[in-house]
């Protein structure tokens, strides 16, 4: 078998093993180990690669704050803050069909402005939104789907760890990338809202038959009071980032501490409750981060097989125009997104793609935004959809299966394809604010 | 004709010139030489940008045989390659990178313990790689050392040590976050190398560029796994060595000239580029604790040749006509 | 469907692929205790990271005194924290996996589902054993070489405690996988107690 063939075979093997219910991280590790052994011909090299990836692939500041973003999410839930903002948004959108779904998207867009990863968005809103959506009569599938779909706003609306990574790899301005992410982020939120309206009207079996008849009507004053703690947290995080007090990465720690203080002030936290929360944070962190480690091992195998370069050579050989190259590139990202995590896709594809793209004189900031949307679709697609995994590991209701989450997220993934096409066709969506 | 597979790995993306020139100069050069002879050809697997090993994992990847050749930024390996940190503990040297690299080559010839440290990690250096001079970029004009008092200055890694002794507040950040941190006001200045200025558009947020000249630095190396090296046929070894030699010269020249171009581009875009007065530079160096001596003594205590390396390096620099703003080998 | 049947179905479903058959063994109890202890250490690590970053941010903003080498310590710390908490997460069945096939299989033939589960958990134990085997020499090296975490000249901590946490977590996670494999194999052989 040639190295490229080993690469292709490894993809098939992963698809099969994940379907049989093997732990995803173990499956990625095992296939990487066997693959490197075959490519390099020595078991010691395969073992060394595993050991090294385990020790250094997540040893970064931006990964170090993942548990803190998770902790902030748990705290926002426990302290009742999430419930409050969610209730207020629910009030604001209550006259619309699917109003609470739209409220989830809206609240997620707000939260996206205080955090840099979709992982955080997914874990926070699984706790806040899913139980209430189900209580109001939305189907479990729709409830987890809307949370999965809107979690991707966390990476598109600045601050965003993925845009930072793109900026590093492409040597383009991170500040410009952040600004360019705003309009597409809002566009996606708007498309989601329209999607939910449409689904609630035309596909009630998918959405459920929600009733908010028992919803108490709040006065303006109450809405304001209940929004206050979350607004305070947003002001703390956003004000801190844009006021030059801390970086978007550090915001995880400050936000977690801020949420802790608010929870204590609201007297919602017992010592025992605090402890249980930390243990829960540990479970989520360990399972998600160990998965990311596995994905890194696998992306290292792929790079060693030379498969990405071979695909790239194929692309160049086809002699397509710019649009043809870009469309194939985006399709490739979406396909890779089914089996790799977001950061790995960027690490593998960008160094190969950038030289090709640069010969066409493409605006890198626009290219970056389209790339990120394409990469983020992968968060929602099986078998390896990180956002869906995060939701699964945060769900208190164990009866909702991973399959339910993927099915629920599907309409949102399709909507992302539409958003990607729109930004592709109308570059000003990304560049207008620059 | 025999085909030999080789994997070459870098943690940095090819936006770093040292990596780009592996792809665009070193590899084509090896291929060209071998093609002329016609007996061997290399089947390259190129894995850059951390796709096989992170920038601080390349040394280990070459050691373990995951990579056959690697672009090792040894400035992140102070524990394993302590002696190679020499230029970072002796700042305020020359901005002339090609000349610095000659001194580094001679240092390696005189002190075999430098190469031994690499051999202990199962590899040998094919080409040392340096980086152009570091300067100070700020949002306010800087003419004297005192202008920096109480200001938050961001920089990465070992360069933090150069902010010791002054009244500036050192802030540790990664290079790609400098721009954002400047624009939000988290920091008020940056210490970084010339080549990075224009591509990262640092002059947009830090338009005052004082050429403090902390000096060009020796921070990376192209290396090869020793087990692999021993199995390579002689003509291939010779081709690789010849290509590495010319790669080393081309990289040094490329960083040096594009550093100057980077500052010119910044100036053309409206940045104020100023010389930092010699007297102020000297005062800055004198005000610092003697980081070189501290470094050398700590290594001596571990049984390594810290002082010997420091003294040899300062002597070789003088012989090459390089003047440091302070003689770091004197108390 | 009667209410009781509905509840039974819910229980069956919620007993996802990782839900354990009864574990009568003393080894299981001890493993549980040690895993909990490591998870506690990992949790304290998370609190420490939060504290250090806030000290860094506050110190820098209010007093012009940042906490030294924060990024380096946090970067090294996250790896230790993940591995410390891994065994407990594995034991609680929190590892991420697809439950489509196995869930369907469990409804039709619980014993075959347990057999498949035993195989999967055995694979988990094997891969973690491989990891331990190859991480071990790196950790011995890092102790022998006096490797450090932090930044030269700024703040340096010894690297071995970080490395030992990784190793301990991986060993324990391997044992947890092994124990779960044994429990599932037992259930496949004897069937689950009602
Ligand atoms: Na965000
Ligand atoms: Na996916």
ipTM of the complex: 0.90
Give the pLDDT of residue C10.
Answer: 29
Give the pLDDT of residue A433.
Answer: 82
Domain positions in chain C: 25-190
Q: Is B270 on the interface with C (CB under 8 A)?
A: no
Among B79, B174, B302, the residue with its CB nearest the CB of C148 is B79
Phi/psi class of residue C83: alpha, beta or left (left: φ > 0; alpha: ψ in -120 to 50)? alpha
**Omega before A383 cis (within 30°)?**
yes
Q: Is A21 on the interface with B (CB under 8 A)?
A: no
CB contact under 8 A, A49 and B66: yes
Total beta-carbon pairs less than 8 A apart between chain B and chain C = 46
* Cα–Cα nearest to A287, from C134, C18, C13: C18
The gap from C-alpha A72 to its chain's centroid, in whole angstroms, comes to: 16
Among the listed ranges B179-183, C14-18, C151-155, which one has the minimum average pLDDT value? C14-18
- The Cα B153–Cα B138 span in angstroms is 8
- Asked if the model's pLDDT at residue B75 lies above 50, the reply is yes
Give the pLDDT of residue C101.
Answer: 82
Q: Work out the end-to-end distance of chain A between its first and last CA atoms, rounded to an integer number of angstroms.
A: 49
Give the pLDDT of residue C193.
Answer: 56
Total beta-carbon pairs less than 8 A apart between chain A and chain B = 101
Cβ contact A127:A82 at 8 Å = yes
- Asked if the model's pLDDT at residue C17 lies above 60, the reply is no
Residue % of chain C over a pLDDT of 90: 51
Q: Which residue of B has its CA nearest to A50?
A: B66
pLDDT interval class at C12 (50, 70, 90): very low
The mean pLDDT value of chain C amounts to 83
The residues facing B225 across adjacent strands are B123
Q: Work out the end-to-end distance of chain B between its first and last CA atoms, rounded to an integer number of angstroms.
A: 60
Q: What is the mean pLDDT of residues B87-102?
A: 95
- The Cα C120–Cα A370 span in angstroms is 38
* Cα–Cα nearest to A129, from A113, A147, A151: A147
Give the pLDDT of residue B88.
Answer: 95
Residues of B in contact with C143 (CB under 8 A): none
- Asked if the model's pLDDT at residue C128 lies above 60, the reply is yes
CA of A205 relative to ligand 2 center, distance in Å: 26
- The Cα A401–Cα A128 span in angstroms is 18
**3-state SS class at B49:** coil
Cβ contact C98:A21 at 8 Å = yes
φ and ψ at residue B221, rounded to 5 degrees: -160, 145
CB contact under 8 A, C60 and B150: no
Q: Is C149 on the interface with A (CB under 8 A)?
A: no
CA of A389 relative to ligand 2 center, distance in Å: 10
pLDDT interval class at C3 (50, 70, 90): very low
Q: What is the mean pLDDT of residues B196-214?
A: 91
- The Cα A47–Cα A45 span in angstroms is 5
- The Cα B161–Cα B34 span in angstroms is 45
Q: What is the mean pLDDT of residues B162-183?
A: 85
- The Cα A305–Cα B46 span in angstroms is 10
Q: Which residue of C has its CA nearest to B186?
A: C61
Cβ contact A140:A404 at 8 Å = yes
Tokens of B305: 């040749």
**A96 DSSP assignment:** S
Q: Which residue of C has its CA nearest to B298?
A: C153
C-alpha radius of gyration, chain C, whole number: 22
Give the pLDDT of residue A116.
Answer: 67
* Cα–Cα nearest to A365, from A417, A433, A415, A413: A433
Q: What is the mean pLDDT of residues B128-154?
A: 93
Secondary structure (DSSP) of A212-268: -TTPPPPPHHHHHHHHHHHHHHHHHHHHHHHTTSS-TTTHHHHHHHHHHHHHHHTT-
* Cα–Cα nearest to C33, from C160, C176, C153, C138: C176
pLDDT interval class at C23 (50, 70, 90): low
The helix, strand and coil proportions of chain B, stated in percent and rounded to the nearest 5, come to 50, 20, 30
Give the pLDDT of residue C24.
Answer: 59
Give the pLDDT of residue B251.
Answer: 95
* Cα–Cα nearest to B228, from B112, B71, B123: B123
Q: Is A247 on the interface with B (CB under 8 A)?
A: yes
Q: Is C11 on the interface with A (CB under 8 A)?
A: no
Cβ contact C187:C120 at 8 Å = no
Q: Is C24 on the interface with B (CB under 8 A)?
A: no
CB contact under 8 A, B79 and C147: yes
- The Cα A58–Cα A20 span in angstroms is 27
- The Cα B130–Cα B200 span in angstroms is 19
**3-state SS class at B277:** coil
φ and ψ at residue B73, rounded to 5 degrees: -80, 95
How far B128 CA sits from the closest chain A CA (Å)? 24
In whole angstroms, how far apart are CA B163 and each of A419, B150, C60, C125? 47, 12, 15, 49
CA of B52 relative to ligand 1 center, distance in Å: 28
φ and ψ at residue B122, rounded to 5 degrees: 60, 35
Cβ contact A334:A376 at 8 Å = no
H or E stretch at B313: helix B306-319
Q: Is B178 on the interface with C (CB under 8 A)?
A: no
**B15-45 per-position pLDDT tens digit:** 789 999 999 999 999 999 999 999 999 999 9
The residues facing C156 across adjacent strands are C150
Contacts of C72 (CB under 8 A, 6+ apart): C149, C150, C151
- The Cα A246–Cα C53 span in angstroms is 10
**3-state SS class at B165:** coil
CB contact under 8 A, C134 and A47: yes
In whole angstroms, how far apart are CA A60 and each of A65, A284, A325, B148? 9, 18, 33, 30
Give the pLDDT of residue A168.
Answer: 65
The gap from C-alpha B209 to its chain's centroid, in whole angstroms, comes to: 21
Give the pLDDT of residue C16.
Answer: 40
CB contact under 8 A, C46 and A18: no
Residues 194-253 of B with CB under 8 A from C: none
Q: What is the 3-state secondary structure (H, E, C) of chain C?
A: CCHHHHHHHHHHHHCCCCCCCCCCCHHHHHHHHHHHHHHHHHHHHHHHHHHHHHHHHHHHHHHCCCCCCHHHHHHHHHHHHHHHHHHHHHHCCCCCECCHHHHHHHHHCHHHHHHHHHHHHHHHHHHHHHHHHHHHHHHHHHHHCCCEEEECCCEEEECHHHHHHHHHHHHHHHHHHHHHHHHHHHHHHHCCCC
**Please, what's the b/e burial string for A173-202 (b: 16 or more CB within 10 A of its CB; e: otherwise)?**
bbbbbbbbbbbbbebbbebbbebbbebbee
- The Cα A294–Cα C97 span in angstroms is 13
Cβ contact C151:B172 at 8 Å = yes
Length of chain B: 331
In whole angstroms, how far apart are CA B234 and each of A245, A326, B70, B78? 58, 44, 20, 33
Among B157, B173, B291, the residue with its CB nearest the CB of C151 is B157
Give the pLDDT of residue A395.
Answer: 86
pLDDT tens for the 434 residues of chain A, in order: 899 999 889 988 987 888 788 998 899 899 999 999 999 999 999 999 999 999 988 888 877 877 887 788 778 777 878 778 778 888 888 888 888 999 999 888 887 876 667 877 888 788 888 988 998 889 999 999 999 999 999 888 877 778 877 876 676 776 788 889 999 999 999 999 999 999 999 998 998 888 777 777 888 898 888 888 888 888 888 788 878 898 877 888 998 999 899 989 888 788 888 888 888 788 878 887 888 788 889 889 988 998 877 877 777 777 778 888 888 888 888 887 877 777 777 876 776 677 677 777 789 999 999 999 999 998 898 877 888 888 988 888 878 988 899 999 999 999 999 999 999 999 999 988 87
Residues 273-312 of B with CB under 8 A from C: 291, 294-295, 302
* Cα–Cα nearest to B296, from B140, B86, B148, B114: B86
Secondary structure (DSSP) of A381-431: SSSS-HHHHHHHHH-S-TTS-HHHHHHHHHHHHHHHHHHHHHHHH-THHHH
Cβ contact B67:B226 at 8 Å = no
Give the ligand whose atoms come closest to the C-alpha of residue A241: 1
Give the pLDDT of residue A360.
Answer: 78
**B155 DSSP assignment:** E
CB contact under 8 A, C145 and B80: yes
**C131-185 per-position pLDDT tens digit:** 999 999 988 888 888 889 988 888 899 998 998 999 999 999 999 999 999 989 9
**Omega before A159 cis (within 30°)?**
yes
Contacts of B16 (CB under 8 A, 6+ apart): B10
């Amino acid at each position: 078998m040639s190295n490229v063939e080993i690469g292709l075979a490894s993809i098939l093997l992963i698809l099969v093993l994940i379907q049989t219910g093997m732990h995803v991280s173990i499956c990625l590790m095992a296939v990487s180990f066997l693959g490197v052994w075959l490519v390099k011909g020595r078991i010691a090299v395969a073992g060394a690669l595993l050991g090294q990836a385990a020790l250094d692939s997540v040893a970064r500041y931006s990964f170090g704050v993942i548990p803190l973003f998770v902790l902030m999410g748990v705290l926002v839930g426990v302290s009742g803050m999430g419930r409050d903002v969610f209730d207020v948004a629910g009030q604001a959108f209550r006259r619309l069909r699917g109003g609470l779904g739209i409220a989830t998207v809206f609240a997620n867009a707000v939260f996206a402005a205080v955090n840099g990863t979709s992982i955080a968005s997914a874990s926070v809103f699984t706790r806040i939104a899913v139980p209430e959506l189900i209580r109001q009569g939305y189907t479990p599938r729709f409830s987890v789907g809307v949370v999965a779909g809107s979690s991707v706003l966390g990476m598109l609306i600045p601050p965003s760890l993925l845009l930072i990574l793109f900026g590093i790899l492409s040597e383009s301005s991170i500040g410009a990338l952040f600004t360019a992410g705003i309009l597409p982020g809002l566009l996606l939120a708007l498309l989601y809202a329209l999607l939910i309206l449409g689904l609630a009207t035309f596909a009630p079996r998918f959405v459920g038959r929600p009733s908010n008849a028992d919803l108490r009507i709040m006065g303006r004053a109450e809405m304001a009071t209940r929004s206050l703690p979350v607004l305070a947290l947003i002001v703390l995080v956003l004000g801190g980032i844009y006021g030059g007090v801390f970086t978007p990465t550090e915001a995880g720690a400050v936000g977690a501490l801020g949420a802790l203080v608010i929870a204590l002030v609201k007297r919602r936290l017992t010592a025992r409750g605090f402890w249980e929360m930390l243990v829960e944070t540990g479970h989520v962190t360990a399972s998600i981060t160990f998965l990311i480690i596995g994905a890194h091992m696998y992306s290292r195998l792929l790079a060693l097989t030379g498969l990405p370069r071979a695909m790239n050579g194929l692309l160049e050989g086809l002699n397509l125009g710019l649009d043809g190259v870009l469309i194939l590139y985006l399709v490739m990202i979406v396909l890779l997104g089914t089996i790799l995590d977001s950061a790995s896709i960027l690490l593998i594809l960008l160094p190969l793609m950038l030289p090709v793209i640069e010969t066409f004189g493409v605006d890198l900031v626009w290219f970056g935004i389209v790339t990120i949307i394409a990469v983020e679709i992968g968060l929602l697609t099986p078998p390896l959809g990180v956002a869906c995994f995060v939701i699964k590991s945060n769900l208190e209701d164990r009866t909702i299966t991973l399959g339910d989450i993927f099915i629920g997220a599907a309409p949102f993934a399709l909507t992302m394809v539409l958003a990607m096409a729109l930004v592709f066709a109308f570059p000003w969506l990304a560049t207008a604010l620059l | 004709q025999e085909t030999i597979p080789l994997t070459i790995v870098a943690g940095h993306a090819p936006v770093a010139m040292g990596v780009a020139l592996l792809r665009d100069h070193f590899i084509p050069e090896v291929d060209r030489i071998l093609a002329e002879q016609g007996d061997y050809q290399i089947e390259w697997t190129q894995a850059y940008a951390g796709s096989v090993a992170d920038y601080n994992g390349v040394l280990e990847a070459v050691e373990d045989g995951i990579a056959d050749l690697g672009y090792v930024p040894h400035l992140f390996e102070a524990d394993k390659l302590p002696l190679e940190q020499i230029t970072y503990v002796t700042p305020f040297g020359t901005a002339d990178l090609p000349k610095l690299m000659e001194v580094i080559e001679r240092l390696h010839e005189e002190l075999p313990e430098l190469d031994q440290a690499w051999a202990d990690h199962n590899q040998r250096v094919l080409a040392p790689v340096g980086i152009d001079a570091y300067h100070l970029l700020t949002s306010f004009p800087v003419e004297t050392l005192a202008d920096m008092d109480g200001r938050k200055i961001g920089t990465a890694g070992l360069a933090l040590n150069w902010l010791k002794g002054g009244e500036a507040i050192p802030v540790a950040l990664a290079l790609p976050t400098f721009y954002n941190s400047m624009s939000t006001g988290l920091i008020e200045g940056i210490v970084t190398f010339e080549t990075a200025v224009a591509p990262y558009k640092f002059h947009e947020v830090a338009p005052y560029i004082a050429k403090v000249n902390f000096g060009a630095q020796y921070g990376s190396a192209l290396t090869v796994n020793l087990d692999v090296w021993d199995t390579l046929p002689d003509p291939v070894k010779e081709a690789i060595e010849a290509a590495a030699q010319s790669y080393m010269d081309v990289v040094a020249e490329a960083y040096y000239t594009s550093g100057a171009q980077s500052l010119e581009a910044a100036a053309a875009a409206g940045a104020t580029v100023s010389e930092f007065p010699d007297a102020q530079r000297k005062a800055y160096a004198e005000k610092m604790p003697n980081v070189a001596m501290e470094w050398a003594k700590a290594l001596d205590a571990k049984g390594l040749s810290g002082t010997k390396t420091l003294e040899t390096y300062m002597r070789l620099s003088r012989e090459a006509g390089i003047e440091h703003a302070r003689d770091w080998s004197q108390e | 469907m009667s209410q009781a049947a509905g509840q039974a179905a819910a229980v069956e479903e919620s007993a996802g692929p990782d839900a354990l058959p009864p574990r009568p063994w003393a080894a299981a109890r001890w493993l549980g205790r040690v895993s909990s202890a490591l998870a506690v250490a990992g949790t304290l690590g998370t609190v420490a990271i939060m504290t250090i970053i806030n000290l860094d941010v506050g110190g820098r903003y209010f007093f012009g005194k940042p906490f030294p080498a924060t990024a380096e310590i946090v970067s090294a710390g996250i790896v230790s924290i993940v591995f410390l908490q891994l065994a407990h997460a594995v034991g609680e069945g929190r590892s991420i996996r697809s439950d489509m096939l196995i869930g369907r299989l469990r409804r039709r033939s619980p014993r075959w589902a347990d057999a498949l589960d035993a195989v999967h958990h055995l694979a988990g134990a094997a891969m973690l054993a491989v990891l331990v085997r190859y991480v071990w020499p790196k950790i011995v090296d890092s102790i022998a070489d006096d490797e450090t975490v932090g930044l030269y000249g700024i703040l340096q901590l010894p690297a071995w405690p970080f490395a030992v946490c990784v190793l301990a977590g991986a060993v324990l996670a391997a044992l947890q996988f092994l124990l779960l494999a044994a429990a599932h194999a037992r259930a496949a052989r004897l069937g689950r107690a009602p």
